[in-house]
Structure formats: structure tokens, C-alpha cells
Structure 1
């Protein structure tokens, strides 16, 4: 045994001549590589999970936006509602809020000739008498706004719609100081027919 051979070591660790045993520690390369691969996988999974979360929320927003656009297009392409209400189904009370006599009767007679049912005719109530500066006021229940007011408005242009607490279906036409006459019958008939004719809405934004 050579003097360079550590005690207790023999066999392949025997030092002879110029040969020395390799005493280096075992390499950590495998553990380093394994740790690096694990870190890369962890980062990859974290990134994938984040992407999925973003896609979920972004996708949900996109779906909502798409649904909103589809709804808007459906509304845009739908036809306007048809108003089937006819003049004979509307009872009109005609009141004169001006100093000119006979105005309410003349207007009521003309509305009757055009097919409207006429109720009371006379001077306007104190709340409106001599206090309507425009063409006139259409007064009725809240439900009249989407029906009788539209139909009666084709005959008297420029009136102001107002509602009150009545529960009946009749409406008041209160003539103001700017009133002269009803709309010409041909024009009024055209406007009345337009209410019952569906018109396609604009599709350009779909």
C-alpha cells in the first residue's frame, strides 16, 4: 500500500505510482435540471391558468356584448307597432279656451264628420280658460298617451299632451288662442293611415 492511500481504503482506491483516487463529491447536475424543469412547468401552468381566467371573463364580456348587439338589431329590424285604434272608438270633449265664440262647436262638428265620437262641447274649465296660448291641449288619462292622443293629434297639429287622474277613456281637446282650424282632411287622413301602417326600422347599424 502506498503512503498516499488513505487508511481503510484499498482495492480500486489503492494508490500506486502516479495514480490518485477521484475524491470529488457526487454531481448535483441532475437535481438542478430537475428543479429547473419543475420551475418551468409551474410557471407554464400558472400562465395557462391566468390565460384561462382572462378568457373566461373576457369571453363572458364578449358574449354579453354580442347578445346586446343582437338584441339591438332585432329591435332595429322589427316593424313599428300598428295602431289599430280608429276615430270612432275615441270620444272627444271639445272645449274653447279662447275669447272667440263658437270655436268649440265648429271644431266638434268637423271632428264628427271625420268619424270621431263627440262628447261635451263648450267653454274650457277655469283652470284652462283664457290660459292656453298655443294651438291647444290634449287632456286625458295616462293610457291615452299611446293611443287616443296619437289619433287625435293627426287632426290638430301642434297640441300639447297632458294627463290627469280620470279613469274614463274620453279625451279633452282644449282649443288655445293659436288655434285656427283642424288640419286639412287629406293630410290628416294620410297621417292617420301612417299610424296603422308598419314601417321597417333602420337596419344600417346591424
Structure 2
């Protein structure tokens, strides 16, 4: 055996030239197969996770939530429009009082209200409790029942008027003119407001 022959190779291989044979380790096919399988499994898990995320946002849960909202909207009571007010100005007796330091306002306002169909009661200076003590355009004063009827009609004649109740049992109401009062609203605006009371707009349907 030649001295150039690698150990363990016996006489099977003999180097006759100046080049050595290359010694390669056998490839480990098991590791390669395992790596490929691991890659396939990882890709599969990633795809499954993506599908789960899609289901969360657009899948059955979204459908259930949408169905629940639809059910809530269906079962919830819908707001109704405000009932029309059939009360006419001629059915309301108005007492007109002047709480300002300017004279003649109560009579002028009472005359104009009478032209617009209101029944007029007392006219004069405001009681001591209100005289020179009403800073706004005016106060509508009456019994508790006036809140849903007479106040709403009379308020169409004077924007910004404040409503207040007392213990009276009669149906008449007071219009106490405040220091900011100059004149009643124009008849055109007042008539439009009265028409809205008689034919109120439908109430909004809500979030559903």
C-alpha cells in the first residue's frame, strides 16, 4: 500500500497521481425532511390563524352582533311625534302686566293679542313681586295645567319668554312683560309657530 493512500481505505483506492480523492459526508436526508415538514406546519398554522382573525371581524360573531343590534332596534319603542295642539288662541284668557319702568306697554301688547284672537283679561302694572324684577322679555305665569296647553300657544307670540307656574286653579294665564321687552313677535312668525303646533314634524327615528 502506498504511503499516500489514506488510512482505512486499504488497497481499494490507490493514489496514482498528485490529486487526492474528495471525502464527502453522506447527506442527512432525515434532517432535510424534518425541516420541510416544520416549514409546512408553520405555514399551515399561520394561515389558520389568519382565518380565525378574519372570522372575528367579519365572521359569525359579526353576524351575531349585527343580529343582536337589529333585534334591539326592533324591540325598542320608537319615539313618537309630539301630539298636535288643538287649543286655539280664543280659548285662552291672557292677563297682561307691565313690569318695566316704561308706561303703556301692557295696553299695547294686550291690544295686539286681542287682534290675534286671544281673550284679554286684566291689563295693568305688574304685582309688587314682579315689578321691575323681570330681566328678560317676559314671564308666562299660570297653573300647572297651562304647561301643556296655554303656555305653548302664548309662547308663539313672544320668543324668549320664561314659563312659571303658581297655585291658581283658574285657566287664565298672565303675560308679565320684562325689561327686555320691546314688542311681540311679528304676526307672520307667530302664525307660523302656531301652525307648527297644530302639525308637528315627525320625531327622529333614532340611532337604529
Normalization by structure 2: what TM-score? Answer: 0.64
**CA RMSD after TM alignment:** 2.0
Look up the SS of the partner of 2:130 in the other structure.
coil
Task: For residue 146 of structure 1, report the CA deviation from its aligned partner.
Answer: 1.1
Supply the distance in 2 between the matched residues of 1:162 and 1:204 (Cα, whole angstroms): 31
Q: 1:115, 1:67 → 2: CA distance?
A: 48
Q: Which residue of 1 aligns with 2:112?
A: 110
Going from structure 1 to structure 2, the CA distance change for 1:127 and 1:201 (only over 3 Å counts) comes to same
Counterpart in 2 of 1:126? 128
Gap runs ≥5 in structure 1? 1-62
Alpha-carbon distance between aligned partners in 2 of 1:186 and 1:158, rounded to the nearest angstrom: 17
2:189 maps to which of 171, 187, 190: 187
Hey, which bits of structure 1, 4+ residues long, moved more than 4 A? 65-69
* Matches of 1:69 and 1:160, distance apart in 2: 39
Q: Which residue of 1 aligns with 2:31?
A: none
Structure 2 unpaired stretches of 5+: 1-67
Whether 1:70 aligns to 2:75 is yes
Distance 1:71 1:79 in 2: 16
| Structure 2 counterparts to residues 58-97 of structure 1, below 5 A | 66=71, 70-72=75-77, 74-75=78-79, 78-97=80-99
Measure, in 2, the Cα distance between the counterparts of 1:69 and 1:205. 12
Shift of 1:205: 2.1
Looking at structure 2, the residues matched to 188 and 195 of structure 1 have their Cα atoms a distance apart, in angstroms, of 11
